[in-house]
């Protein structure tokens, strides 16, 4: 009887061992299959990720600026400009179009805050030997007429403050360009009206008087040049 019981227990334990080994084998097969599936799907996942990136780039492209590698020098000229004053000016420019009867439908209006720089002085290249005369130890200098050398916008500080377009229009693509062009002219005109040329002349006199005095002309008298029509 005991022998029969022992045989039964041996069979049970053997069956359990076999079942455990089969379960372990099945688990290993399932894990390997899952790993193979992941490896097989990885190219698909990578393709989907790359496709998403490409779609995002199409919908939200990054501007690319490519300067032409060829540089053309059209003209070289020697300059002897004495820059004696610089103005920083800010102007508000209103540019608009289509503001008539149907302005609410087709109109376009913007406010452009323009920040510009104006530099003025005298061009010493225009001095001739007749403009420098020495009499009784006194140097007489006829300075060239002062002029504006640079009047330009500072694009980093200039911006569109507000823009209003009609319900049926996307706006005039050239309106801001026109506002910038007018802004440069207004900045130059504002500096001239404020007396930048007079200050440029006076600063040039002060500078040249010290310079000419240091090289042996203790007395310098400036003669006003006649502006060219």
Residue ranges per domain, the chain? 1-46, 81-223
What are residue 95's phi and psi, to 5 degrees? -120, 135
Q: How many CA atoms lie within 13 A of 51 on its CB side?
A: 6
pLDDT by residue, tens only, the chain of 229 residues: 545 555 555 454 555 556 556 655 556 555 666 566 566 556 656 655 665 565 555 555 666 666 666 667 666 666 688 899 999 999 998 887 766 665 566 568 888 999 999 999 999 888 888 888 888 888 898 999 999 999 999 989 999 888 787 666 676 778 888 888 989 999 999 999 999 999 999 999 999 899 888 888 888 888 876 655 4
Question: pTM (2 decimals)?
Answer: 0.63
Q: Quote the CA–CA distance of 45 and 22 in Å, as a whole number.
A: 34
How many CB atoms neighbour CB 158 within 10 A? 18
Which whole-number Å values give the CA distances from 106 to 98, 103, 162, 179, 210, in the listed order?
6, 5, 17, 19, 61
Q: Quote the CA–CA distance of 124 and 147 in Å, as a whole number.
A: 11
Which two three-digit tokens encode residue 114? 């323009």
- CB of 110 closer than 8 Å to CB of 163: yes
């Amino acid at each position: 009887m005991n022998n029969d019981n022992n045989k039964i227990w041996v069979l049970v334990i053997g069956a359990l061992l076999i079942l455990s080994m089969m379960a372990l084998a099945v688990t290993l097969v399932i894990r390997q299959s899952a790993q193979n599936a992941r490896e097989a799907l990885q190219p698909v996942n990578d393709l989907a990720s790359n496709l998403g990136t490409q779609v995002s780039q199409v919908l939200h492209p990054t501007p690319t600026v490519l300067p032409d590698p060829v540089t053309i020098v059209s003209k070289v000229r020697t300059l002897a400009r004495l820059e004696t004053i610089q103005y920083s000016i800010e102007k508000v420019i209103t540019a608009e179009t289509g503001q008539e009867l149907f302005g609410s439908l087709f109109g376009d209006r913007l406010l452009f805050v323009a920040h510009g720089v104006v530099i003025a002085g005298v061009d010493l290249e225009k001095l001739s030997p007749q403009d420098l005369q020495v009499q009784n130890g006194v140097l007489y200098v006829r300075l060239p007429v002062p002029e504006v050398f640079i009047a330009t916008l500072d694009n980093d500080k200039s911006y569109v403050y507000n823009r209003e377009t009609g319900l049926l229009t996307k706006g005039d693509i050239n309106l801001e360009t026109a506002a910038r062009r007018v802004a440069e002219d207004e900045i130059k005109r504002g500096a001239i009206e404020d007396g930048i040329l007079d200050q440029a002349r006076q600063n040039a006199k002060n500078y040249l008087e010290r310079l000419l005095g240091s090289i042996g002309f203790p007395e310098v008298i400036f003669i006003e040049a006649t502006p060219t029509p």
